[in-house]
Structure 1
Amino acid sequence: MSLDFLTEAFQDDRLLWFLNRGTGVILLVLMTASVALGVLSTVRASSVFWPRFVTQGLHRNISLLCVALLIAHAALAVIDEFVNIRWFDMVVPFVGEYQPLWLGLGTLATDFVILTVITGLSRTRFGSRSWRTIHLTSYLGWLAGLVHGFGIGTDSREVWSMGVTVACVGVVAGAVAVRLGTLGTERRMDRRQSSPGRRAR
């Protein structure tokens, strides 16, 4: 019975679309979590209940999961023959025959995410400034992925889909707001510690 169900499922032309769209939505949520955790991991303050290394570890592991899901999402788009998406459209942006702008943004997001994960895993081989500059492209990757899903998704105007999009924007905006707030506090503390009166003591 289960084998018959699986056979019918794989014969259903909609299966690849459901899988592709499903991985796309999950991917947006994971990328949002990765970006937000990446922003929060730069905050110097930590808690006994939530140490900084936990945030950094989650950020790293979710980023790796994003790469695996990105490959699956892109592969599903190529395998599905409903529209013509070629294998090199997965890595070369804006050359696709099907909706080149929206598809190209998805490819750009893939390239940025893979770049930041690879450089993150080999951080010791880069200077601090170079690594941070490259790693900042993760923001562009997240934004490109967000716009890609909204532009190319056939159900992106549905209430639930727009709700996911708005929630993801809110999470990243909230993380950035927290970081900007703590950044001002950290700079004031640095100035106090480096002041002549403080050093004289």
Structure 2
Amino acid sequence: MNINDYFSVWNLIRTSGFLGFYFMTLSLSLGLFSSLSVLKKKKAFFVSLHQTSGWFGLLTIIFHIVLIWQDQYVPYSLGELFIPFYAENEPVYSALGTLSFYLFFMVISSSDFFIKKLGLKIWKKIHLAVIPAWVFMMIHGLAIGTDSTEPWSLFLYASGSSLIIVLGFIKYLESGMVRQSPDRQKPSK
């Protein structure tokens, strides 16, 4: 394989798909991690990493979309890329990728540009859209990705999923303990 093969549109599509998954998994993990009470003193550091990895992920996904649009082997029109279920190639799984992009875009733009206008309560509800976005992205990659059956690829998806599940479970347990703590209960009259 010569050097040009490594930088072919096909290889860049595959690489950008995995990088998008990596950055969004990292961002989601850091977001969950930074919300844990044991890390109060380091919260700003982890939130900064969370936001940066989210932007890297979104930009990588945009690069992925542009490359798919330029691909000659399985061509996609702009409509197929941006209108869910419109693609001829794997319409459901292509739609999950499109919907994932829209949800990630909504979460990141609301976080960085509209949080003050939205208010914290609405922003938090919008921010939860990152979970279905991440799940849609993973299903999209597993179903359409040409490397999805490779052991290394399955390991990446399984380890990313395990990390998110474990951190989500820890966050769930911690939030349950906070709700039940005596400090949070209203005093009786």
Fold shared per TM-score above 0.5: yes
Stretch moving more, 81-90 or 143-152: 81-90
Distance in structure 2 (CA, Å) of the matches to 1:60 and 1:78: 27
- Are 2:51 and 1:81 aligned? no
1:129: Cα distance to partner? Answer: 2.3
Question: What's the counterpart of residue 135 of structure 1?
Answer: 127
Structure ranking higher on relative contact order (CA contacts 8 Å, 6+ apart) = 1
Q: 1:32 aligns with which of 25, 44, 67?
A: 25
2:165 to 157, 162, 173: 173
Larger Rg: 1
Aligned equivalent of 1:59, options 32, 50, 56: 50
Deviation of residue 123 (structure 1)? 0.8
Q: Closer, same or farther in 2 for the Cα pair 1:105/1:125, shift >3 Å?
A: same
Paired amino acid for 1:15 = S
Offset of 1:174 from its aligned partner?
1.2
- Please say if 1:111 is aligned against 2:131: no
Task: Tell me the TM-score normalized by structure 2.
Answer: 0.90
Deviation of the 1:196 alpha carbon:
2.9
Q: Deviations over 1:9-56 (max 9, x none)?
A: 1xx5981111100111111111111111122222233265xx111111
CA contact (8 A) 2:20 2:58 kept: no
Identity %: 24
1:141-156 to 2 correspondences below 5 Å: 141-156=133-148
CA contact (8 A) 2:30 2:49 kept: yes
Structure 1 residue 19 corresponds to structure 2 residue 6: no
Give distance in 1, aligned partners of 2:184 and 2:170.
23
TM-score normalised by L of structure 1:
0.85
- Mind listing any 5+ residue stretches in structure 1 that lack a counterpart? none
Provide the aligned length of Structure 1 versus Structure 2.
187
